[in-house]
Structure 1
C-alpha cells in the first residue's frame, strides 16, 4: 500500500465517502469521529442521481440501492390535498439512467462504514486541534494523541472545528429561519402510496420518504425563531397538521414520541474563500452547509468526496507540492458548483416552505400548476445531472472484512 497517509475528521456521509475513495486510490486513511453513535439515526434521506453516481464511483451504489426504495411516485400538494406538481421519477431515471432512492440514514452510514476496515475508524474521539504550515505535514490532535498526515480532510459538519481554526474571521453558520422536526415511523403506514411527497402550507412544509419495509421518514419544516422547543414535539405536530391531507395524520399516528428529532436549520450563508488551506481540504457541511430545500446536502458531500479522490489519484508521486496542487484542482471544481446549489436551495426555501403571504402563496401555486412537466424535470436535472471524474491509479479490490489488495494497473486516457 502507498505510504501516503490521510486523516479524515468526521465520520458522517461525506467523511466516510472520502475515506473510501482515498483507500481506493491507495492512501492509508484514518477516520476520527466524535460521536459514539450517529446522532441522525432516526432520519431518512433521498439520494438523487448525482449522489448515486458518486456512490457508484466508490463501489458502494449497489449495496445502497438494495437497501433503498426507488422514488417514482409522489409530488407536491397543498394542505387540502390538491396537486401542485406530480413527481415523475421514471422520467428522471430515463434521462439520467439512475433512479432517485430513499434510505434511512442509519442504513447508509452502516453501508459506508462496512466498506472500511474497523481499525481505520476511531469512534468517540473529538479533534481538539489541527495545525498546518507550508513546510510541514499537517497535524491532528484528538483524545490526547497527535497524528501527522500528508493530508487532512475536514468533514466535521456545519460546526466544524477545523474550519474555525482555518478561517477564524469567518462568521460561521447563520440561522436560516426554519426548524425541522422529523422521525421514522415505528411501523409500516397503511395507504402510503407515494414514494416521496411534499406539502406546502403557509410557512410550513410536511414531507415523507417511503422505505422498502413500508415504514417512512417524515419531516415538518416550519418558520420559527431559533431555539424554540416543545414539551411534547409529537403532540404539537399532531395538533399542527391535524387537518392536513392523508397520509400526514397516519404518518404521525405511526410515530413514537421518543423517535422525534428536532433541529434548527443553519447554513453557511457567507461563502468560504476556499475549500482548502495548505494540505487540508474541507468538504460537505464543513465547506458549504446548505438548507435542505433541494435535498442536495448529502449528494454535494458525495460529489466532494469523489472529486477530491479523483484530483489526488492523478498525482503519480504525491509530494507536498503535488498534493497542494491537487487540492487546488478540487477547490476549483467544487466551490463554484456547491455554492451555486446552496444559493438555489436558499431560493427554493424562500419560494416554497418559507413563503407566508397569502397572495404570494396563491401566485406561486398557480405558477407551479401551469409549469409543463418537462420544465419541472429540467429543473431537477440542473442539480442532479453530474458525472463523476475518473479515479486513476490503484483501485482497491476488497469487500468488507477482507484485506485491502490494490490493483496497480493505472487507467489511461
Structure 2
C-alpha cells in the first residue's frame, strides 16, 4: 500500500485524508493542536464542495445544514441596495464548522492514523519519498471509530525516533494542509513573502436567537455585517471592521449599535465573539507541487472570507488530488488545475473586501448606486432567462 503524510487536520487536511484513503493509500495525519477538532462558527458549503464530499461518501451534510436564502444587500440603516431574491443565484448550505469537520472525520477508515500535539519542524526529499521531522508525536486515533487508539508519550521515539521528543515519518507523498502560516510552505519556499494583511478585522459569532429576517449582508462605511440562519434556528453572523492588525479588541455591540435590526439584537444574543485579523496570501501564488510535496487549502491559497470559499476550495483541492492520483502519478496536473482557479478566487475576494470596506462617504454613495443598478440589471437578465427556459 502506498503511503502519504498529511500535515494539518483542519477541514482541508481531513478531506485530503479521506480522499487518499479511498485511492488506496495508507495515511498518517500530523496535527499541531493537542486535540482533533475545528475552531470557528458558521460555514457556507457551496455546490462544488458539496459534490466532492458526496463523491467521497461524506454523509449527513443535508441533515446538518440549511439551504442559504438570497436576501441581498442593505445599507446600515436597512434600505436595500440589492434584493437578491430574483437573481436566481447559486446558493450554499449553512452549517457549523465543527459539524462539517465531524462529518468528514466520521468517514475516515482504518488506513488513517492521526497524531495530535505534533509539530512539523523539517522535511527532506529524495528519489524514493519524503521524510518529515516532527516534535511531540502523540497518537490521537486511527479510523472512524477510534479503533486501535494508542499514545506515544512526548519525548518517546515514535515512528523512527531521532531524539528525545522528536520523530521521523516517511512516506511517498506529503500534503501540506497546515493553514495560512504553513510550516510546510515555509520549508519549501522560505523566501516567499506569505500572508499580507487585508486592512480589516473580522468578528464572528452565533446568536442564540430566532428571527424572521432571512439574512444577507449590510454595508456601511468601513464596516460590514452579514448573517444567515442555521438549521437549528440560531443565527451565524460575521462582520468586518477597518482596523490595524493586532489592535485592542473593540466592543462589537457598540460598533453596530445604530445599525438596522436585527443586527443589535443578534449581537446582544451572542454569548461569545471570535476576533481574527484577516490575511490572505500574496499573488502570484507559489506552485502547489514541489516534487513529492504538495500544498492544499490555506497553505496554498489562503483568501479573505468575502466570498465564503476558503474551506470549500480546500475540499475541492482534495477532490482534484483524488482525481489526479486515480489517473496516474503526474502531480503537476493537480497544480495545473487548482492554482489558476484559486488564484482568481484570491484576487476576486480581496477586491470585494476593498469595495466593501470603503470608508469615504462619497465613495460609498457611488458604490451603493452602482451595485443597485447592477442588481436591477442582473435581476432583469435572470427573469428573461427563466422566461426563455419556460418556453422550451
Same fold (TM over 0.5): yes
2:213: which partner in 1? Answer: 193
Sort the Cα spacing of 1:35 and 1:378 in 2 relative to 1 into closer, same or farther, 3 A: farther
CA contact (8 A) 1:75 1:197 kept: yes
Partner of 1:249: 264
RMSD of the alignment, in Å?
Answer: 2.1
Q: For 2:113 and 2:87, how far apart are their aligned partners in 1?
A: 39
Residues 278-304 of structure 1, C-alpha deviations (whole Å, 9 max, x = no match): 100101110111111111111111111
What is the alpha-carbon distance in structure 1 between the residues aligned to residue 318 and residue 38 of structure 2?
20
- Equivalent position of 2:155 in the other structure: none
Q: Say whether 1:120 aligns with 2:113.
A: yes
Structure 2, unmatched stretches of 5+, are 137-165, 383-392
- 1:210: which partner in 2? 229
**Matched residue, 1:293:** 306
Give the alignment's TM-score, normalised by structure 1: 0.81
CA apart distance, 1:356 = 1.2
After TM superposition, the structure 1 = structure 2 runs for residues 75-90 of structure 1, keeping only pairs within 5 Å, are 75-88=72-85
Match for residue 152 of structure 2? none
Q: What is the distance in 2 between the residues matched to 1:29 and 1:378? A: 48
- Flag as ranges the 4+ runs of structure 1 deviating above 4 A: 376-379
Helix, strand or coil for the counterpart of 2:88?
Answer: helix
* 3-state SS of paired residue (1:91): coil
How many pairs are equivalent?
351
- Choose which of 310, 323, 329 in structure 1 pairs with 2:323: 310
Listed as ranges, the matches of 1:119-198 within 5 Å are: 120-133=113-126, 135-142=127-134, 143=136, 144-185=166-207, 187=208, 189-194=209-214, 196-198=215-217
Q: CA deviation at 1:202?
A: 0.6
**1:126 and 1:178 mapped to 2: Cα distance?**
29
Q: Which residue of 2 is the match for residue 66 of structure 1? A: 63
CA 1:89–1:301: 2 relative to 1, 3 Å: farther
1:103–1:376: structure 2 CA closer, same or farther, 3 Å change rule? Answer: farther
2: CA distance, partners of 1:132 / 1:210: 47
Helix, strand or coil: the match of 2:359?
coil
Deviations 1:204-252 (A, max 9, x none): 111112111111221121110010122xx5xx11111111011111111
**CA deviation profile, 1:262-282 (whole Å, cap 9, x unmatched):** 111111123333111110010
Please, which of 196, 214, 224 is the counterpart of residue 243 of structure 2?
Answer: 224
Specify whether residues 223 and 378 from structure 1 end up closer, same or farther in structure 2 by C-alpha distance, changes over 3 A only: farther
Offset at 1:117?
Answer: 3.5
Look up the match of 2:23. Answer: 25
Q: Which residue of 2 aligns with 1:13?
A: 11
**Matches for 1:233-244 after TM superposition, within 5 Å:** 233=250, 236-244=251-259
Q: What does 1:52-63 align with in structure 2 at a 5 Å threshold? A: 52-60=50-58, 62-63=59-60
Q: Is residue 6–residue 17 contact of structure 2 (8 Å, CA) maintained in 1?
A: yes
What is the aligned partner in structure 1 of residue 147 from structure 2?
A: none
Normalized against structure 2, the TM-score is what? 0.85
1:167–1:42 distance in 2 versus 1, CA, 3 Å: closer
Whether the aligned pair in 1 keeps the contact of 2:210 and 2:235 (CA below 8 Å) is no
Distance 1:11 1:373 in 2: 43
Is the 1:38–1:106 Cα contact (8 Å) retained in structure 2? no
Tell me by how many angstroms 1:38 deviates: 6.1
State whether residues 227 and 238 of structure 2, in contact with CA within 8 Å, keep that contact through their aligned partners in structure 1.
yes
Equivalence for 1:364: 367
3-state SS, counterpart of residue 136 of structure 1: coil
Is 2:68–2:94's contact at 8 Å kept on the other side of the alignment? Answer: yes
The answer (yes or no) to whether the contact 1:192–1:247 under 8 Å persists in 2 is no
- State the Cα distance separating 1:375 from its structure 2 match: 3.1
Q: Which secondary structure does the structure 2 equivalent of 1:286 belong to?
A: helix
Query: Separation in 2 of the partners of 1:374 and 1:214?
Result: 33
